[in-house]
Amino acid sequence: MIVLNLNALDEKRNKVKFQITGDDIDTDSAIILSNHVSLADHFVIAYLARNSCTTTTDSSKLENSIVLPRVNFFSWFLVWRVPTWKVLFNMAKCDENWELDESLLDSVFYKVLHSRTPEWLIMFPEVNIFTHENALIQQQQSSKYCLPLLENVLYPRFSGIFNLVSAIQKSNNFKFTKIYDINLLYSRESNNPKNIFITPTLFDIFTSSSPPITVHIFVKTRFLSRLPQKRSKVERYIEHAWVDKDKQLTEQKKRLINDYQISTSNYHIDLETTALNSSY
């Protein structure tokens, strides 16, 4: 069994740029909900955990100590920390549609809920990795069933989220108070807008490439106390969050296209100026 190191992604070693915007992230326990762009998302979120703020609101921790959150992914009926090639392969190929029986919630989440260290519980509610083919199929289904039409994300599935939220709410555990709603976007500088936004493979993300890949991470903090307990209301809450996420990604892409075009234009102007100066 080949086990992968989630901490393998490094900004300098892999020559990957990170741009983290939005709300600050602290090291306390939290639920992480993210759109799903690539298998590389798992390593990006692990990077985010390693670079979270070094302050904590938990008074039981030693002052000035650095306690980084431990990364846990909830999928395939399990909470897992270390991915294998087999797990990642299944995630890339399979259509994951499942729900835990309520009687199993305590046993699945027990270690995380009762851990003394900060824990991140991470989910990709879209389940499948976003592709234009998947998006087209979902848009057709959304039109048929009068659901929101999304362009940059897939429509979320609610069973796993409801399992996760129910387990925390029923445990009366005050360790988890925040939800970090994360937008992930990968880009590469290009003068052709069609080539700017990419879906990197693991090979792409771990090998130095030119131009380098930039990972854009936008963070919005939500509070678990504001999440309803009835399933229908939880589903509506997540649906609204994903509609907002889709709009934010649209605006972010527009800004990046404009920035890259300005950058490319300035680069060509500099080349022309250099050529003129060298001709004298």
Per residue of the chain (280 residues), what is the pLDDT tens digit? Answer: 444 566 778 787 788 999 999 999 999 999 999 999 998 999 999 999 998 864 444 545 444 456 889 999 987 656 766 566 555 555 555 555 566 677 778 888 889 998 989 999 999 999 889 999 999 999 999 999 999 999 999 999 998 899 899 888 888 778 999 999 999 999 998 888 888 999 998 888 888 777 889 999 999 999 999 999 899 999 999 999 999 999 999 999 999 998 887 665 554 444 344 444 544 4
227: containing domain:
6-279
**Structural domain includes residue 200:** yes
pTM of the predicted structure, to 2 decimals: 0.84
Specify the amino acid at residue 82.
V
> Quick one: pLDDT at residue 63?
44
Domain assignment of residue 84, yes or no: yes
Residue 75 lies in a domain: yes
Is residue 12 assigned to a domain?
A: yes
Q: What is the total count of domains within the chain?
A: 1
Residue 231 lies in a domain: yes
Domain for residue 238, yes or no? Answer: yes
Residue 1 belongs to some domain of the structure: no
Flag whether 152 is in a domain: yes
